[in-house]
Structure 1
Amino acid sequence: MTVAMRKHVVVIGNGMVGQRFCEKLRKYDTDKKFKITCVGEESRRHYNRMLLTEYFEHKTAENLYLAADDWYATNEVDVMVDVQVESIDHAKKELITKDSKVPNIKYDYVVLATGSFAFLPPVPGHDYEGVYVYRTLTDLDNMLSYIHDTPPTDVPRPKPKAAAVFGGGLLGLEAAKALRDEGLEVCILEINPWLMRRQLDEPGATLLKNKVEELGIRVHVNAKCGIMGDNGRVTGIRFEDGTVKGIEVVVFACGIRPRDEVAKASGVNVHERGGILVDDNLATNVEDVYGIGECVIHQGRVYGLVNPGYAMADVLAHRLTDSSDVRIFESGDMSTKLKLMGVDVASFGNYMPPKDSKEFMPLVYDNPAEGVYRKLIFTADAKHIVGGMMVGDASDYSKLLLTSQSAKPLKDSPSVYLLGKAASSGAGTVTEDDLPDDAQVCSCNDVTKGDIKKAIHEQGLTCLKDVKTCSSAGTGCGGCVPMVKDILDFEMKKMGATVDNSLCEHFAYTRKEMFDMIRIKEYCTFTAVLKDHGTGFGCEICKPTVASILASLYNSHILDGELFTLQDSNDRFLANLQKNGTYSVIPRIPGGEITPEKLVVIGDVGKKYGLYTKLTGGQRIDLLGAMAWQLPHIWKDLVDAGFESGHAYGKALRTVKSCVGSAWCRYGRGDAVGLAIMLEERYRGIRSPHKLKGGVSGCVRECAEAQSKDFGLIATETGYNLYVGGNGGTTPRHAQLFASDISEELVIKYIDRYLMYYIHTADRLERTAKWLTKLEGGVEQLKRVVIDDALGLAETLDAHMALLIDTYVCEWKKVVDNPERWAYFDQFRNTTAKQDMITLESTRDQIRPVMLPTPPSSPSGAERALLEYEKTKMEWIPVGEAKQYAPNSGGSILYGATQLAVFHTARNWNGIEQVAWYATQNMCPHTNAFVLSSGMVGDSNSKMKVACPLHKNTFDLETGQCLTMDQYKLYQFDMKEVDGELYALLPPTAVVDAVLATQKFLSVDAEMELSKCAKLDW
């Protein structure tokens, strides 16, 4: 569609909701049917008003901007600042601007997102110098200038020392904190009986008031006062009882009023008390004029929070881009969680039901000693939470919000939720079953639980692979796959179907059953396990699972023999695979302690190999951008300097984070660094169902965040408190207290048994937090197993841990010391030549990959030529020796300027040797990364396939067709083996290079034809 044919959408208002509408409209307008213009009267573009208080810290408006400078040009959004619209001419379909120098603006649709203005009550003296409202950056700039700038000599005034804030709501409290941080003495004046009357009841507000006053801010409730002045300037406030207080600055934060001036001047219906009237479609009474955000009244209500405005923006963007879309705006969620002056304050759902209603049952926990107030509203039958408010502790706000949105009955008694006992007992936990249908499960592809359920029921899906294919959930980073599996299992149970907990189509066993089977029968190879208990060749699920189990049991080097072909994306090259096919290197830095000499070594390695360097959250240093063939060279330099593998690539112990502890910190109670180093060196290299992280804090200030780790320790006066089962990531979990005031000896014993019990019994890719939640009896049962030896497993668990500790060897040192292993990392099997696979640029004095423009989706002439090239004209080209390829693995070759992937599949089945060879392009068509040759080879429904190591998309090796995303297909070439030599049937290099040459996918020259074999018309 040409620019001239596009419909013009004009948004009046450069606020947060207007910005969100532009984002959503551009996202849903895939055909570019709309031209978008934003018009605002402020001198700045869209910024985050929720962060106004932070502006006092940095005084930089750009830090609050909602979009980068280039976002508007990239998304074709025109922004006009310093432009005020007076009215809308419906007949001419144009906006009348106030400034005659700015031409009127033609439109097809108008979206009123004019927001609100700060309410200025008719208090005598409200127009004095020194009186401000708290709404825009201009308001704040003027206020700061008045406070700090030296007044003109001809208008002498004292430098402000004290300020009064009218309003004890959210804005008032934020304004008070900001003024206090500017060095002023501050008081808050609230006309109501308590603070934050819209969000809190009186007891909760009383606790908040006490907390605020502890910070040195005086709070006056039921306050009725006037402003005193001299020569038109604020000098004080006078209370109703005649008391006078001297102040120089007054800030009004008494609420907001909808901005509806443009609507009133344009014949758009407004409420008698202000606010643009809109229906469920967000439409006004005037055709093609809509309203969203704080300026509108919907079903008699004004929404003063940003989230309902965002919901309106989403609904309207959907309706404008799709006329068949029937979604409407029903109501906005007013739930909110804030940290006011360091105090958690939250409210959600129906937190203020009618006092005398018999439909609801409020329960209150009021603990002034700890500064905590919690009030939850339950249904009368105590089966559901409908709302609540919290002051001082809102750590489980998200969980309670999800619970209140779920239609399912509560699993536990109300006291569990009220007192927060779920965090320590495992009870009351919101599982995936409890999530509402609109809860986002897959953030990569924006897939909700409802989308997954719909795919399962409408298409009759019964296996995880099909659910991923049909819903796109889990096909991005893969982090949500366990949750997707849980949703599938729950829906299967609801339908009365048998839930298949098989590991994959090749093994009808769970991970725990596989672990016990391999341990008891002492299997040492995947081939033996598959022969006795499986079918087919295996796949990208069962191979790494068995590899992990074998490593957990025997601790053999993971690149030895057949084990090499079982390793997943990262383990295969002992490094973290990045999105562009390069790898990152993270040496172990136990406890975060490192000498200056070793820091220099890491810096020298980064310089020598041209790597991007970054500190990690686990107190280590990440070196990114290494080619696979460079890895042995890099690690030789690191190993020679005394570094070991950090296992950042494996499902193993990553780090044990520490604070500086008692050695340096004046609050320290224990040697956090020493214990962290000892634990990290004890458990390094141990393979487990998922990654493991630990932490040791030297005191209760918890600087090492031990309570968010799989195991964590906090030093006390008499020992350590041990916490287990915590994690960050997509589903953060707070660790649970396991034992208190224990010695280092007991710490080691308990963690040893805990980790081994987890390794023995957890499911595939299951973190300790989820495992502990699913463990019948929760943390109490774990105590019985670990401390009391209730199952008689202690001796077995202790012996198993001792074996793993005693057999530890640095994986990279074994590679470095054995030159034959370096061949695993060669870029090509048929040449020693090297080829760049990415284009780099310099940003902030470091390298970064260049993001390429999206290539055309239709086939080019060169692609057609390659597709249609007659096999009779192709030649058998020698591409290397067969012995270079381990059975059931792959490698890459260089043909002309093109990378091809060669795959070797082999097995002995009932005495018959089954061997096959395949060749495809090495570039994954989903990401354009040159990685397929290192993918996992296996089969599905008797079709041989390869799984891309980046996102596990699988491709049929016979046809090239992607089995998980229909739009992708590989170029595939015939292969044969003759007397140990390999040959590929190929067109001339010029024909292949015209389509697949590596350089064509690295260029950022817009004039160079950028070819992509991803979305071809096959």
Structure 2
Amino acid sequence: REHQLGVGAAHVVAQADLSTKLKLLGVEVGSFGDAKGTTEGCRTVSLSDNVRGTYSKLVLSPDGTKVLGGLLVGDTSRYGDLLDLTMSAAPLTVPPETLIVPPLPGGAAPTLSANALICSCENVRSDAICGAIADGARDVATLKKCTGAGTGCGGCVPSLHGLLQSELARLGETFSNHLCEHFAHSRQELFDLVRVKGHHTWDEVLGAHGHGLGCEICKPAVASILASLYNEHILKPGHAPLQDTNDAFLANIQKNGTYSVMPRVPGGEITAEGLIAIGAVAKRYGLYCKITGGQRIDLLGAQRDDLPAIWEELIAAGFESGHAYGKSLRTVKSCVGSTWCRYGVQDSTSLAVRLELRYRGLRSPHKLKSGVSGCTRECAEARSKDFGIIATEKGWNLYVGGNGGVTPKHAVLLASDLHEDEVVRLLDRYLMFYVRTADRLQRTSTWLENMDGGLDYLRAVIMDDRLGICAELEAEMERHVASYEDEWARAVATQEMRARFRTFVNSDARDDGVQWVDERGQIRPADLPPGLTHLTPLPMAGGDD
């Protein structure tokens, strides 16, 4: 693969960026820049670690001051930083060997670039952001306007927020962590106020702790807090107007205005009857089918009017909401474990099903993903998740704080060789502590990185009970589990909620402006719903997993 990338395409397009990261037979591999070391006079530094099963190589300039390229096998956690360092041609500020030597436990990784790439969509680096702050920008909205950062996919906005906070602190200025102009509290402070005061509605929260009418920032945030604490249906009168676009219709809206339907398939385990039912629904409503990275089947292209009828059929077949639209648990991915795989040492599928059914519907500051691998070959990619479990011969290793966000992070080891019940108990505490203390739309990796004391403090809180709140956290999770009900089952059975899905308030007419595509033969004209006869591009939106 390295040979193909380094030679074949280079003859076609001069100096093309051939960097790539992939997974071959379960092993992470990444190459970037001049990975083969073809630059005249270049030098290399490499590390072969037979204990960790990794290999790292950096290709350096003749004077050893710049990274020209490299190859990573077995561990690509630093791929993004090293690629950025290569593309920026920034001089090294640390010895090159420290870039590929794993840091000591609890130690910080070396800073790779003083001018890091913040927004890859608009190619905006940290010096441009810091320059805008020096010129007077004091909020993310102004930074977006001044630099263009965050105006593409929006994935870098948390990084913008963090850089703004650290730069203002360096300048000796106070950074406001208020949720928005209507609440002079952070998300964590507001969560604690609602929990302690026992507020159950938006009006109660706004009247006691805010002012004005609210906005698109604070309304979904308060809705999430109320859902986390009380697990009431999000389309209940009083809650429904607070929801964002996806939660408002219990579906992920796509680029062309249609919606996605994704039933829950715990652990990726599904029966033949279930597959037939999903296929029948897809055919009846002319939906595009996609196997997701989270071991589920995504049905795309549903009209809003059809969502209740689609879900009635799926519920009758034994399915429930997969919460692909919410800031909540998405999936717990698993391999086949010891049941089928000759390498499996624990039953990963059963544990994945248990965890997904336990934490389904848990509303949180951001979406949550998990994975359970039945052995150290890691086929479920558990360390790329917000929490992941990997089997050992003695039990389970629990990893936390990883995800596939703006800067992908490997989850870090929290505890080793746990019994299954110990895994569940620690996860109950970990998840509820995250729900309590994270900022709005903050992924678990960023939350853990920004936590004072980091992993050691997290261990002290949820393992050693330093704050004396472990019993509370466990009780809160038990209340969530006991109060869970399928959101779509309630929605289709409640006439008031069901009426929300009509396209027009005063008519049963359908929206005839939706456009469809015959993309690689998935949808044929004969398969389209009645009244839809034209085929034009159907763009899809990501993130359903």
- TM (normalized to structure 1)? 0.47
**Measured at CA, do residues 805 and 721 of structure 1 come closer, stay the same or move farther in structure 2, by a change above 3 Å?**
same
Aligned to 1:546, the other structure's residue is in SS state: helix
**Measured at CA, do residues 840 and 800 of structure 1 come closer, stay the same or move farther in structure 2, by a change above 3 Å?**
same
1:291-690 correspondence runs (5 A): 293=14, 306-307=16-17, 367=49, 395=76, 396-400=78-82, 402=84, 419-421=101-103, 425=106, 427-428=108-109, 436=115, 439-443=117-121, 445-458=122-135, 460-690=136-366
Q: Could you tell me which amino acid in structure 1 is paired with residue 115 of structure 2?
A: P
**Equivalent pair of 1:336/1:348 in contact (CA under 8 Å):** no
**Measured at CA, do residues 374 and 471 of structure 1 come closer, stay the same or move farther in structure 2, by a change above 3 Å?**
closer
**Measured at CA, do residues 518 and 369 of structure 1 come closer, stay the same or move farther in structure 2, by a change above 3 Å?**
closer
Specify the alignment match of 1:729 in structure 2: 405
Query: How many Å apart are 1:719 and its aligned residue?
Result: 0.8
Specify the alignment match of 1:51 in structure 2: 4
Query: How many Å apart are 1:766 and its aligned residue?
Result: 0.8
Listed one character per residue, the Cα deviations across residues 147-180 of structure 1 (whole Å, up to 9, x for unaligned) are xxxxxxxxxxxxxxxxxxxxxxxxxxxxxxxxxx
Q: What is the rounded CA distance, in whole Å, between the counterparts of 1:809 and 1:446 in structure 2? A: 44
**Equivalent pair of 1:402/1:430 in contact (CA under 8 Å):** no
Tell me whether 1:756 sits opposite 2:435 in the alignment. no
- TM (normalized to structure 2)? 0.84
**Measured at CA, do residues 348 and 830 of structure 1 come closer, stay the same or move farther in structure 2, by a change above 3 Å?**
closer
Aligned to 2:245, the other structure's residue is in SS state: coil
Specify the alignment match of 1:243 in structure 2: none
**Measured at CA, do residues 795 and 347 of structure 1 come closer, stay the same or move farther in structure 2, by a change above 3 Å?**
same
Q: Report the count of equivalent residues.
A: 519
Listed one character per residue, the Cα deviations across residues 339-380 of structure 1 (whole Å, up to 9, x for unaligned) are 99989687989x99xxxxxxxxx99866556665668899xx
**Measured at CA, do residues 582 and 743 of structure 1 come closer, stay the same or move farther in structure 2, by a change above 3 Å?**
same
Q: Could you tell me which amino acid in structure 2 is paired with residue 505 of structure 1?
A: E
Q: What is the rounded CA distance, in whole Å, between the counterparts of 2:120 and 2:231 in structure 1? A: 34
Specify the alignment match of 2:394 in structure 1: 718
**Measured at CA, do residues 833 and 710 of structure 1 come closer, stay the same or move farther in structure 2, by a change above 3 Å?**
same
Q: What is the rounded CA distance, in whole Å, between the counterparts of 2:455 and 2:297 in structure 1? A: 34
Q: What is the rounded CA distance, in whole Å, between the counterparts of 2:261 and 2:110 in structure 1? A: 37
Q: Which has the higher contact order (CA 8 A, sep 6+)?
A: 2
Aligned to 1:723, the other structure's residue is in SS state: strand
**Measured at CA, do residues 757 and 340 of structure 1 come closer, stay the same or move farther in structure 2, by a change above 3 Å?**
closer
Q: What is the rounded CA distance, in whole Å, between the counterparts of 2:234 and 2:23 in structure 1? A: 48
**Measured at CA, do residues 344 and 801 of structure 1 come closer, stay the same or move farther in structure 2, by a change above 3 Å?**
closer
Listed one character per residue, the Cα deviations across residues 588-631 of structure 1 (whole Å, up to 9, x for unaligned) are 00000111111111111111111111111100011111121211
1:778-927 correspondence runs (5 A): 778-847=454-523, 850-851=536-537
**Equivalent pair of 1:402/1:435 in contact (CA under 8 Å):** no
Q: What is the rounded CA distance, in whole Å, between the counterparts of 1:819 and 1:663 in structure 2? A: 44
Q: What is the rounded CA distance, in whole Å, between the counterparts of 2:514 and 2:376 in structure 1? A: 47
Q: Could you tell me which amino acid in structure 2 is paired with residue 496 of structure 1?
A: G
Q: What is the rounded CA distance, in whole Å, between the counterparts of 1:802 and 1:537 in structure 2? A: 34
Larger radius of gyration: 1
**Measured at CA, do residues 774 and 525 of structure 1 come closer, stay the same or move farther in structure 2, by a change above 3 Å?**
same
Query: How many Å apart are 1:427 and its aligned residue?
Result: 2.4
**Equivalent pair of 1:612/1:625 in contact (CA under 8 Å):** yes
* Greater per-residue strand proportion: 1
**Measured at CA, do residues 306 and 815 of structure 1 come closer, stay the same or move farther in structure 2, by a change above 3 Å?**
closer
Listed one character per residue, the Cα deviations across residues 196-248 of structure 1 (whole Å, up to 9, x for unaligned) are xxxxxxxxxxxxxxxxxxxxxxxxxxxxxxxxxxxxxxxxxxxxxxxxxxxxx
Q: Could you tell me which amino acid in structure 2 is paired with residue 420 of structure 1?
A: P
Q: What is the rounded CA distance, in whole Å, between the counterparts of 1:429 and 1:756 in structure 2? A: 32
**Equivalent pair of 2:308/2:501 in contact (CA under 8 Å):** yes
Instruction: Indicate the percent of aligned positions where both proteins have the same amino acid.
Output: 49
Listed one character per residue, the Cα deviations across residues 85-116 of structure 1 (whole Å, up to 9, x for unaligned) are xxxxxxxxxxxxxxxxxxxxxxxxxxxxxx87
Q: What is the rounded CA distance, in whole Å, between the counterparts of 2:321 and 2:107 in structure 1? A: 35
Q: Could you tell me which amino acid in structure 2 is paired with residue 51 of structure 1?
A: Q
**Equivalent pair of 2:256/2:515 in contact (CA under 8 Å):** no
**Measured at CA, do residues 786 and 628 of structure 1 come closer, stay the same or move farther in structure 2, by a change above 3 Å?**
same
Specify the alignment match of 1:705 in structure 2: 381
Query: How many Å apart are 1:389 and its aligned residue?
Result: 6.8
Specify the alignment match of 1:769 in structure 2: 445
1:194-233 correspondence runs (5 A): none
Query: How many Å apart are 1:494 and its aligned residue?
Result: 3.8
Q: What is the rounded CA distance, in whole Å, between the counterparts of 2:56 and 2:515 in structure 1? A: 55
Query: How many Å apart are 1:729 and its aligned residue?
Result: 3.4
**Equivalent pair of 1:376/1:385 in contact (CA under 8 Å):** no
Q: What is the rounded CA distance, in whole Å, between the counterparts of 1:582 and 1:792 in structure 2? A: 47
CA RMSD of aligned residues (A): 3.9
* Greater per-residue helix proportion: 2
Q: Could you tell me which amino acid in structure 2 is paired with residue 441 of structure 1?
A: C
Q: What is the rounded CA distance, in whole Å, between the counterparts of 2:381 and 2:516 in structure 1? A: 36
Q: What is the rounded CA distance, in whole Å, between the counterparts of 2:263 and 2:24 in structure 1? A: 41
**Measured at CA, do residues 54 and 838 of structure 1 come closer, stay the same or move farther in structure 2, by a change above 3 Å?**
farther
Q: Could you tell me which amino acid in structure 1 is paired with residue 108 of structure 2?
A: A
User: Which stretches in structure 1 are left out of the alignment for 5+ residues?
Assistant: 1-47, 56-63, 65-114, 117-135, 137-291, 294-304, 311-334, 353-361, 379-383, 853-926, 930-948, 951-1018
**Equivalent pair of 2:65/2:91 in contact (CA under 8 Å):** no
Aligned to 1:576, the other structure's residue is in SS state: coil
**Measured at CA, do residues 825 and 392 of structure 1 come closer, stay the same or move farther in structure 2, by a change above 3 Å?**
closer
Q: What is the rounded CA distance, in whole Å, between the counterparts of 1:744 and 1:340 in structure 2? A: 30
**Equivalent pair of 1:375/1:389 in contact (CA under 8 Å):** yes
**Equivalent pair of 1:425/1:736 in contact (CA under 8 Å):** no
Corresponding residue to 2:418 among 724, 742, 767: 742
Aligned to 2:300, the other structure's residue is in SS state: strand
**Equivalent pair of 1:502/1:509 in contact (CA under 8 Å):** yes
Q: What is the rounded CA distance, in whole Å, between the counterparts of 1:716 and 1:850 in structure 2? A: 51
Aligned to 2:474, the other structure's residue is in SS state: helix
Specify the alignment match of 1:980 in structure 2: none
Q: What is the rounded CA distance, in whole Å, between the counterparts of 1:51 and 1:363 in structure 2? A: 22
Listed one character per residue, the Cα deviations across residues 12-37 of structure 1 (whole Å, up to 9, x for unaligned) are xxxxxxxxxxxxxxxxxxxxxxxxxx
Q: What is the rounded CA distance, in whole Å, between the counterparts of 1:52 and 1:393 in structure 2? A: 18
